[in-house]
Amino acid sequence: MDFAFGGGDDEFRVEVRAWLCGHVEGGLERRAWERMLGKGGWIGLSWGEGGYGNRVAGLTQQVVWAEEYARSGAPARSGHIGENLLAPTLLAHGTEEQRARFLPPIAAGEELWCQGYSEPGAGSDLAGVSTRAERAADGSYRITGQKIWTSLAHEADWCFVLARTEAGSVRHRGLSFLLVPMDQPGRIEVRPIRQMTGTSEFNEVFFDGAHARAEHLVGGEGNGWNVAMSLLGFERGVSTLAQQIGFAGELERVVRAAVDSGAAVGDPVLRERLVRQWAELRVMRWNALRTLGSSGDFGAPSVAKLLWGGWHQRLGELAVSVRGAGAAVGPVPWSEATPYELDAAQHLFMFSRADTIYGGSDQIQRTIIAERVLGLPREPKG
């Protein structure tokens, strides 16, 4: 195990806890919270020296921040996509002008981003993208098409869009990575998708001649697939450890519900499931620490996704199992004003049904491991 905390990390942890304790409070509006984080210098810890307004922290300090953030009960981040996905991509593939334009507002919590990848015909199979981006006479692009399952598009100021810039191209060829402003009335329409949880974090986004400037093409025309795959590699890392802190809190609440019920904790089958969930969560943590900061392991992100997606889904099932028949009853009586209220366990159960689908389905993750890691033959194209 190469990963280990040092003495300086303890001091950093004290600083982080003190700051969070003094700033986390109920009722914070998400944009205001992002600006507060930016003012404190807590956005972009992993970017390194660059003069973009970010504080620089080593890998172990990034883990400390992520863990303490999760433990503090701070609001869910609206800036995750810009900070942890787009920013590393611009540092790797963007021009200095692009980095100077976009990284400071992300570090300040002033501009929020969404990800324009999935489409109705290109979900887990991203190479099936059909959204088009055509060159205009002035060198800019006009984008037409539809994206779906776009997280927080209704709040975002910008969207990075994978679009087809070469007419007649197929699969991985002819794709480009464009930075698109969302404030384009009549050219961009965002429609929230109501989920079975009653919430609408995801959206459909329709582009009808949306404008993207020539200088907002990242990595060169036709190189979008390489840029997009590089970005997906940033999706899992330090944030995985913070995610596991949240999982641990959810598991603790499920165990408490089982103990409080009496009957559930006395059921040997449920007890075995609870212990298994705890053990698997520990394994996930050690696996995340083992692969943290490593490079060249193409299977590590897919293994991590398979582990946590299935684990969290089983936790949701366990959360309602320990409640018995009472899990089918809502927290408040039905009324027209409250037609669809869920308690925490019911929300966990329903929302976790999607864990093995979004971010690349389990089937896609297994295919990646089979083909890119194990070297098995590719599936024949039908």
Q: Of how many residues is the chain composed?
A: 382
Tokens 């959810």 correspond to 250
Spatial CA neighbour of 279 closest among 253, 311, 250: 311
- 358-363 own/partner pairs: CB under 8 Å, 24+ apart: 358/149, 359/235, 359/305, 359/309, 360/124, 360/232, 360/302, 360/305, 361/123, 361/124, 362/306, 362/309, 362/310, 363/124
- Cβ neighbors of 15 (< 8 A, separation 6 or more) are none
Would residue 235 show up in a list of annotated catalytic residues for this protein? Answer: yes
Bridge partners (DSSP) of residue 132 are: 144, 164
> What residues contact 31, with CB distance under 8 A and at least 6 apart?
78, 109, 112, 155
Kindly state the tokens that stand for 308: 């946590």
Q: Indicate the DSSP class of residue 123.
A: S
> Do 141 and 133 form a contact (C-beta atoms < 8 A)?
yes
Catalytic residue of the set 111, 235, 250, 280: 235
Catalytic residues: 235
